[in-house]
Structure 1
Amino acid sequence: MLLPAVLLVVIYQYGPMLGIVIAFQHFIPAKGYFASEWVGLANFKYLFSLSDFNEVLRNTIFIAFMKMVAGLVVPIVVALLLNEIMHERFKRLVQTLIYLPHFLSWVILGGVLIDILSPSSGIVNQILNGFGMKSIYFLGSNHWFPYVVVISHEWKEFGFGTIIYLAALTSINPSLYEAAIVDGAGKIRQMWHVTLPGMRPIIVLLATLSLGNVLNAGFDQIY
């Protein structure tokens, strides 16, 4: 039963790792892996010698770290809030709406963000202007751009994590909540001593998996 999953991992996860050899070649696509010139660490030496390498590395780690933190905190908070909604139809509607952006490409969302954050016609800056504040060039400001990247990424992806955490919540034994109520625990105490410990294995798993993106600031999103 594990064989299909193992094959998928080997073919689509480990197989592409053979492409790492490109880093040590003067790679020419027309020649392929085997005919391209082997240059050893020359590409790395060139990368490290760039004047803005330290800044690029720092920005990449900063953005990736913020994405990792937001990718854990936001879905957990939203899942806990949704779990308290008693109206099932409204709960399913909210789940669908927050999950929808996950299926949209960054090409579409990029256009949406440009329209929303435009310094001249964007709705955000129009609201700021309404309060007497100056327009902010969110997509061109060194100060604001990293936060725009993180927030927009989280807007797109937090619905996926929320669904996973909601599934984890269904596995918690209801008798634990009943025992907590008998002991006089309110909603906050129940969440802290029952819900979060019950979600801990999934939280640790997703946190561990997110470490693989520590040097990935999201090329497709930026591009």
Structure 2
Amino acid sequence: MRTSVFVLGLWFLGLWMLALPALAVDPLQLYGDSATYSVERKGKPIGHYRLDFSRSDAQTLEVAVEMALQIRVLGLFRYDYRYRANEVWQGADRLSRLDVRINDDGEARDYRFQRREDGLYRLEPGRSPVRLGDRLLTSNHWHPHLVRQSELLNTLTGEVSSLNVELQAREALQIGGESVMATRYRLGGELNNTLSWYDEQGRWLGMEFSARDGSRIRVRLRPDTEHRHNG
């Protein structure tokens, strides 16, 4: 009987933790006003990823995301990738607007998303707006509640991607000269080959995913930004 009560208690505790309000998330407490990540391929640096956070008022959060990658092969081939996104949130879990601009080695793509009364829509010139959902988080990864979702707004494709998140391990990550305890997740679903790490406070420490050629790309929090955390 005691065992059954204990198991039932753990089950309710798990439901309570999954239902924690997203309003508890304060990125400025987790990251300060910015966080910068190095991007590596085959252990060599190929670029950077940067998050900038600001508030215009108590309820409005703005997140600017920028990534720049450059890959050279034998000095004969160069691949350039540029990504910029501007997110505007009401509270911490209601995305109200998102603009994305991508330059994929000369091929440009732009995505615009806007919240209306019944949810979030993708806007396309000359086409009817497409409703995507309501409380979608983005694939920019900074939001710690991402690992509780069954889908996300994929900012690289403009579509909604399914997730089947699996908690894989608790492990220590080396960030500069400091060892930081982290939880590693596999995002699963349509992002099955993507791993993502968060610390005990929910701060995103980085991720790993497969490039088009099958090589693994690693994104890591830079040591010079780790001490901006206030938790």
TM-score (norm 2): 0.23
> Radius of gyration: which is bigger?
1
The alignment's TM-score, normalised by the length of structure 1, stands at 0.23
- Where is the helix percentage greater, Structure 1 or Structure 2? 1
Higher strand share: 2
Q: Which structure has the higher relative contact order (CA within 8 Å, separation 6+)?
A: 1
